[in-house]
């Protein structure tokens, strides 16, 4: 009957709490926080708390009743007044139920369970803890911190009951689950309790090492929490382990610490936990007086607070004491009293009651789920139509809302993507246009300064330079005109002038204008068309620019002897004009075909041909403005076909379209001056260089021929200039020449400047060469990337010729200083101890490797030569010679000879070796030749040098 009452009470509580708890959650939280803060900060006395409780009852303040009664109950438990503690915790429970506060109700059940455990009423305690656990299972916010802690408290209480009844495995599951919850919130006190409980289980199983480990973990958490009672209980547990292991002295120390700490507290139940072990350890040590004092105190206190479990332990201890005194009558009496307590009816039925509470918890869980299903079925049957209508309305509303949100989200993403693409296009546009303007400005400015500062320049050279400046000016003007046309078309300012006429005749006149240019390139140009005239509406200026751009590119990228074909035909439907421009030139990579109509895009397959990257994008815009389409089909090495499809008739009013004829609209034959890259490079007298030029060599890697010409004009007076038109050609030429300095552009076809720089720095043969970058890419990111790759100097176009000269002179001076530095270190007979060897420098590592190779080679072969050295270093003799000249200023032969002489100097310090032996060991097979070379190098014969070395050991060896 009692079980059914509690089950019904719990079901009503759960149903009421879960329905209305969310409505008052915010108000309750604020009021709870206020009252909790009041209790903690003011440290109210028991009388004050009782007064506040009575006031809350009078004011029907349920929150105050829950918190005040709970606090009074805890204080009553701390002073071992468990009956009063249960009374006030029950009041807290009643108020929590009235308040529909599931969490507060579960906490009250846990408190009542703990109170009953102190009274050894394990059946009632188990029932309370399982009710708390059941409430937490049904709690709507079970993941809340306080909810989890409440669940951990319930599991801990159930675990303690299972421990008391000997169900150690079940208890361990309870404790470990509670411990995991406490760890989630880093609750030191909760972890300490569960560590101690698990340790006690191992203690009961006689696994003392594990028990001690868990007790120490509990002690560590209690110290972090500064929990006096927890620290005392840990010392008691550790003392019991030591006592059972026979270490009474250590156990006495642990018990004494615990007893002193417990004396500071008012909790007499836990005080007994320390007092009884003190009596027991004194008994075992034979200290009768101390034993009697502690056992008497313990028995009086246990009877006062009615603690059955403590009384059982006291009777057992007194029984053992009387047996030791051979007072068997008293011993039997103590045994009888303890047995009576243990076998009492209330205690005997506890186990079954606890199991019943456990089964009730599981049954209640199933019952609650079943009732929930039944309620749902009844509600569904009674209000099916309303539910269906509401569900349908909600579904439609949800679909509508989802559609709106999805559309808004997609539009937002599309808008953001459009902004990013627009920003990227804008950035790329200005980067590209800056590059295209900087290059001709650099040429114009540089050539003008060159002519101004070189009055003795021949008249023919001056005329050629004027021609180059004019071509660059026209190139800039053409680029500006194209950009202005693009802006006009996009903004709608440009109004196309439509004409109606024979498109084939228009194309023939246009193609004929390209014949001289194509012939100069060795390319044939043809027009293929249908025999009948094709009458169409078109804009002559637009169509001229479209065909001119396509034909110009076709001729530019065709091989000598190739053919460019322009064709015109009507579509099968008779509604469109189809124009094709085809060539058999270099073709376009498939990866680049989708991007060739982008602004300033230049395909790497275009080799060293120059272009602004605007023509095809301009063409694409013109075709779209004519309501047409343009596409490309291309294969590298085979050629390209550009196909344009335009409507034969314009949709605008027929009255606005005027007839076209060659007499009324002339075609501007602009092809002759739009292709400056086809003009042969001028042969200037100022650039003529002698075949055997011993001046410092500079490799110039630049795809623009005019920039190439400018830099050669600026530097040819002082340096030997070699040129390459792209990064790959520049790298290959650098391998052959090993120049003193490399000047490179960044943006180039085939291989750009950055890739070339990386290859140079990875090459053991070329890594020592300083690199200067001349580029129109002025962004700080580009500069940083170049510096990281190995560029020494980064100059922006247009650049100052004087600054370029200064940088080159500084780099060459630095190279000369390094040559002296390297030879000074290499040619020292011994390395100073206080000076580290420069092994981290790539050039020094190369020289040391060459030196080691030479020393090893002359030891095996007296005729070791420069060719042998080159073979050992995996280079050609010429590459080895240029590499050594660049780093040290010595040729391969001279370098080997210097190493041999320095080796001889080292050997001459050994008096046991003859001059002939020194000669052989130094790589000289002829002693007489050795003596001549040695004297020429060291200004002393080998014998004289030996005498000097023996007289002055610290002699300074001359350098190469």
pLDDT of residue 354: 58
**pLDDT over 50 at 262, yes or no:** yes
Average pLDDT score over residue span 33-46: 74
More confident call, 585 vs 371 = 585
Which of 246-255, 332-341, 374-383, 763-772 is least confident? 374-383
Over range 924-933, report the average pLDDT: 78
The 10 Å CB-count burial string (b at 16+, else e) for 179-191 is bebbeeeebbbbb
pLDDT of residue 591: 76
Q: Are 645 and 569 in contact (CB under 8 A)?
A: no
Q: Report the pLDDT averaged over residues 630-635.
A: 89
Give the DSSP letter string of 7-49. HHHHHHHHHHHHHHTTTTHHHHHHHHHHHHHHHHHHT--HHHH
Q: For residues 483 and 424, what is the distance between their CA atoms, to the nearest angstrom? A: 18
CA dist., res. 771 & res. 902, Å (int): 34
Say if CB 645 and CB 787 are below 8 A apart. no
pLDDT at residue 743, as a whole number: 92
Q: Which helix (H) or strand (E) holds 744?
A: strand 741-744
The C-alpha atoms of residue 507 and residue 497 are separated, in whole angstroms, by 18
Q: How far is CA 486 from the centre of its chain?
A: 42
Q: Which of 714, 685, 545 is nearest to 623 (CA)?
A: 545
Cα separations in angstroms, 668 against 477, 548, 665, 779: 16, 11, 9, 39
Q: Which long-range contacts (CB under 8 A, 24 or more apart) does 569-572 make?
A: 569/529, 569/530, 569/534, 570/530, 570/534, 570/648, 571/645
As given in the structure block, the two tokens for residue 906 are 């080292």
* The two three-digit tokens of residue 70, written as one number: 């709970």
Pairing of strands 639-647, 629-635: antiparallel
Higher pLDDT, 221 or 11: 221
pLDDT at residue 357 greater than cutoff 70 = no
> What's the pLDDT at 112?
92
Average pLDDT value for residue range 269-277 = 89
- Which domains does the chain carry? 466-655 (3.30.565.10), 697-824 (3.40.50.2300), 840-951 (1.10.10.60)
Residue 215 scores a pLDDT above 70: yes
**pLDDT bucket at 314, cuts 50 / 70 / 90:** very high
Position with higher pLDDT, 316 vs 910 = 316
- In angstroms, the CA 168 to CA 272 distance is 24
Higher pLDDT, 490 or 233: 233
pLDDT at 833: 45
Which tens digits make up the pLDDT trace of 833-888?
444 444 456 777 777 777 778 777 776 776 677 777 777 777 777 777 777 777 77
Q: Above 80 in pLDDT, residue 461?
A: no
- Does the pLDDT at position 606 exceed 60? no
User: pLDDT exceeding 70 applies to what percent of the chain?
Assistant: 79
At 83-105, the pLDDT tens digits run: 888 998 898 899 888 888 888 88
Statement: residue 421 has pLDDT above 60: yes
Lowest mean pLDDT among 236-250, 389-403, 477-491, 710-724: 477-491
Does pLDDT of 610 surpass 60? Answer: no
The pLDDT, as a whole number, for residue 824 is 67
| H helical segments located in 521-589 | 540-556
Tell me the HSE value of 716 on the side-chain side, using a 13 A CA sphere.
16
| Residue 676: predicted pLDDT | 42
Q: Decide: residue 265, CB within 10 A, 0-12 exposed, 13-18 middle, 19+ buried.
A: middle
Q: Per-residue pLDDT for 823 more than 80?
A: no
Residue 376 has pLDDT above 70, yes or no: no
244 SS3 class = helix
Q: Average pLDDT, stretch 616-632?
A: 85
Closest CA to 118 of 80, 79, 170: 80
The pLDDT value given to residue 677:
43
**Listed range (33-42, 51-60, 180-189) with the worst mean pLDDT:** 33-42
At residue 938, the pLDDT reads 80
Tokens found for residue 776: 């129109």
- In this predicted structure, the answer to whether residue 670 has a pLDDT above a threshold of 70 is no
Instruction: State yes or no: pLDDT of 207 exceeds 80.
Output: yes
pLDDT at 96: 86
Report how far residue 616's alpha carbon sits from residue 546's, in angstroms, rounded to the nearest whole number.
9
- As a whole-number percent, the residues of the chain with pLDDT over 90 amount to 6
Q: Which of 151-155, 273-277, 890-894 has the lowest mean pLDDT?
A: 890-894
Structure tokens at 123: 């059946």
Does 680 have pLDDT greater than 50? Answer: no
> Can you read off the two tokens belonging to residue 907?
């050997």
pLDDT at 350 over 70: no
More confident residue, 535 or 874: 535
**Minimum mean pLDDT among 46-60, 684-698, 707-721: which range?**
684-698
- Going by pLDDT thresholds of 50, 70 and 90, the confidence category of residue 691 is very low
Report residue 335 as tokens. Answer: 């045994």
Cβ(465)–Cβ(622) under 8 Å?
no
User: Is the backbone peptide bond immediately before 798 cis, with ω within 30 degrees of 0?
Assistant: yes
Condensed to tens digits (0 to 9), the pLDDT of residues 399-408 reads: 999 889 988 8
Question: Is the predicted pLDDT of residue 312 greater than 50, yes or no?
Answer: yes
Give the residues across from 774 on adjacent strands: 795
Count helices and strands (H / E) in the chain: 38, 13
**CA-CA-CA-CA torsion sign (270, 274, 279, 283):** positive
Tens of pLDDT along 706-747?
788 888 888 888 888 999 988 898 999 988 888 889 999 887
The 10s digit of each residue's pLDDT in 152-161 is: 888 888 888 8
Mean pLDDT of 770-774: 90
Could you tell me which residue, 603 or 523, shows the higher pLDDT?
Answer: 523
Q: What is the pLDDT of residue 685?
A: 47
- 927: which 2 tokens? 């002693």
Q: How far is CA 425 from CA 93, 431, 439, 595, in A?
A: 70, 10, 21, 13
- Higher pLDDT: 911 or 313? It is 313
Position 346 scores a pLDDT of 45
80 or 701, which is more confident?
A: 701
Residue reference for tokens 């059940």: 109
Q: Which residue has the higher pLDDT, 283 or 466?
A: 283
Strand 535-538 to 499-502 pairing: antiparallel
Query: Which parts of 482-546 are beta strand (E)?
Result: 499-502, 524-529, 535-538
Mark 127-148 as b/e (b = at least 16 C-beta within 10 Å): bbbbbbbbbbebbeeeeeeebb
Chain Cα centroid distance, residue 312: 66
Q: For residue 60, with 0-12 CB atoms within 10 Å meaning exposed, 13-18 middle and 19 or more buried, which class applies?
A: exposed
Structure tokens at 377: 């079925």
Q: Does 492 have pLDDT greater than 90? A: no
Q: Is the pLDDT of residue 66 over 80?
A: yes
pLDDT for 107 beyond 70: yes
Lowest mean pLDDT among 429-438, 619-628, 665-674: 665-674
Write down the mean pLDDT value for the chain: 78
Beta-carbon contacts of 912 under 8 Å, excluding residues fewer than 6 positions away, are: none
Cα four-point dihedral sign 492, 493, 497, 503: negative
Look at residue 585 and tell me whether its pLDDT is greater than 60. yes
pLDDT, residue 8, reads 47
pLDDT at 643 over 90: yes
Per-residue confidence band for 564, with pLDDT thresholds at 50, 70 and 90? very high
Given a cut of 70, whether residue 667 has pLDDT beyond it is no
Q: Which of residues 863 and 276 earns the better pLDDT score?
A: 276
With a cut of 90, say whether residue 951 has pLDDT above it: no
Spatial separation of the C-alpha atoms in residues 472 and 448, rounded to whole Å: 12
């Amino acid at each position: 009957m009692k079980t059914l009452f509690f089950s019904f009470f719990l079901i009503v509580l759960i149903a009421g709490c879960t329905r209305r708890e969310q409505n008052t959650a915010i108000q309750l939280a604020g009021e709870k926080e206020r009252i909790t803060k009041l209790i903690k900060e003011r440290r109210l006395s028991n009388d004050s708390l009782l007064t506040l409780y009575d006031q809350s009852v009078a004011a029907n303040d349920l929150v105050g009743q829950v918190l005040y009664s709970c606090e009074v109950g805890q204080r009553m438990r701390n002073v071992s007044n468990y009956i009063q503690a249960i009374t006030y915790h029950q009041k807290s429970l009643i108020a929590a139920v009235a308040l529909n506060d599931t969490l507060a109700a579960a906490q009250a059940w846990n408190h009542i369970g703990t109170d009953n455990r102190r009274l050894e009423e394990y059946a009632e305690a188990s029932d309370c803890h399982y009710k708390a656990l059941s409430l937490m299972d049904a709690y709507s916010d079970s993941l809340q911190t306080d909810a989890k802690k409440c669940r951990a408290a319930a599991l801990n209480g159930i675990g303690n009951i299972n421990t008391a009844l000997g169900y150690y495995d079940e208890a361990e599951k309870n404790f470990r689950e509670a411990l995991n919850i406490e760890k989630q919130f880093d609750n030191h006190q909760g972890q300490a309790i569960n560590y101690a409980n698990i340790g006690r289980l191992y203690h009961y199983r006689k696994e003392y090492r594990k028990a001690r480990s868990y007790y120490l973990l509990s002690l560590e958490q209690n110290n972090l929490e500064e929990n006096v009672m927890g620290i005392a209980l840990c010392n008691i547990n550790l003392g019991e382990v030591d006592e059972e292991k026979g270490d009474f002295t250590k156990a006495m120390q642990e018990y004494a610490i615990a007893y002193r700490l417990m004396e500071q507290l008012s909790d007499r139940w836990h005080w007994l936990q320390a007092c009884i072990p003190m009596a027991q350890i004194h008994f075992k040590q034979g200290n009768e007086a101390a034993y009697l004092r502690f056992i008497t105190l313990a028995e009086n206190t246990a009877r006062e607070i009615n603690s059955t479990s403590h009384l059982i332990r006291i009777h057992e201890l007194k029984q053992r004491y009387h047996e030791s005194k051979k007072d068997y009558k008293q011993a039997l009496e103590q045994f009888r009293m303890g047995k009576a307590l243990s076998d009492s009816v209330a205690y005997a039925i506890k186990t079954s009651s606890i199991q019943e509470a456990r089964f009730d918890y599981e049954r209640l869980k199933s019952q609650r789920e079943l009732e929930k299903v039944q309620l749902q079925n009844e509600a569904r049957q009674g209000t099916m139509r309303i539910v269906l209508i509401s569900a349908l309305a909600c579904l439609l509303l949800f679909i509508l809302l989802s559609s709106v949100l999805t559309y808004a989200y997609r539009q937002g993403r599309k808008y953001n993507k459009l902004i990013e693409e627009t920003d990227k296009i804008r950035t790329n546009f200005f980067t590209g246009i800056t590059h295209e303007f900087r290059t001709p400005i650099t040429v114009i400015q540089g050539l003008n300064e060159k002519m101004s500062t070189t009055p003795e320049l021949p008249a023919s050279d001056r005329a050629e330079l004027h021609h180059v400046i004019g071509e660059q000016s026209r190139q800039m003007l053409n680029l500006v005109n194209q950009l202005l046309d693009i802006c006009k078309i996009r903004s709608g300012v440009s109004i196309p002038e439509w004409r109606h006429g024979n498109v084939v005749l228009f194309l023939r006149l246009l193609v004929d204008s390209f014949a001289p240019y194509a012939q100069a390139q060795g390319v044939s140009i043809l027009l293929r068309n249908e025999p009948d005239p094709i009458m169409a509406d078109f804009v002559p200026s637009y169509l001229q620019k479209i065909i001119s751009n396509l034909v110009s590119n076709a001729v530019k990228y065709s091989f000598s002897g190739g053919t460019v074909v322009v064709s015109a035909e009507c579509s099968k439907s008779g509604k469109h004009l189809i124009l094709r421009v085809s060539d058999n030139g270099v073709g376009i990579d498939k990866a680049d075909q989708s991007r060739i109509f982008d602004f300033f895009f230049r395909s790497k397959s275009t080799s060293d041909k120059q272009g602004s990257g605007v023509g095809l994008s301009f063409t694409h815009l013109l075709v779209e403005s004519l309501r047409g389409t343009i596409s490309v089909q291309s294969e590298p090495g085979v050629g390209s076909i550009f196909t344009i499809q335009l409507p034969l008739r314009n949709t605008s009013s027929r009255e606005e379209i005027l007839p076209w004829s060659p007499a009324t609209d002339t075609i501007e034959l602009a092809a002759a001056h739009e292709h400056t890259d086809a003009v042969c490079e001028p042969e200037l007298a100022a650039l003529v260089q002698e075949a055997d030029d011993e001046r410092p060599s500079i490799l110039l890697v630049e795809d623009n021929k005019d920039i190439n010409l400018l830099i050669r004009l600026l530097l040819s007076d002082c340096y030997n200039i070699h040129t390459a038109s792209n990064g790959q050609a520049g790298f290959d030429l650098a391998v052959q020449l090993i120049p003193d300095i490399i000047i490179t552009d960044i943006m180039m076809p085939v291989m750009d400047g950055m890739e070339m720089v990386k290859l140079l720095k990875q090459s053991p043969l070329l890594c020592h060469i300083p690199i200067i970058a001349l580029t129109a890419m002025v962004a700080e990111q580009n500069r940083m990337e170049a510096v990281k790759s190995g560029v020494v100097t980064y100059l922006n176009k247009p650049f100052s010729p004087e600054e370029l000269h200064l940088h080159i002179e500084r780099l060459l001076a630095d190279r000369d200083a390094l040559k002296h530095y390297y030879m000074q270190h290499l040619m020292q007979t011994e390395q100073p101890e206080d000076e580290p060897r420069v092994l981290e420098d790539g050039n020094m590592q190369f020289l040391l490797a060459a030196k080691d190779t030479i020393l090893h080679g002359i030891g095996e072969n007296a005729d070791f030569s420069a060719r042998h050295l080159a073979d050992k270093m995996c280079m050609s003799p010429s590459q080895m010679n240029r590499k050594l000249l660049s780093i040290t200023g010595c040729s391969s032969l001279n370098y080997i000879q210097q190493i041999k002489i320095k080796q001889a100097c080292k050997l001459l310090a050994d008096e046991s070796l003859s001059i002939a032996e020194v000669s052989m060991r130094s790589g000289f097979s002829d002693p007489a030749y050795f003596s001549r070379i040695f004297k020429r190098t060291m200004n002393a014969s080998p014998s004289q040098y030996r005498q000097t070395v023996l007289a002055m050991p610290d002699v300074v060896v001359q350098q190469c």
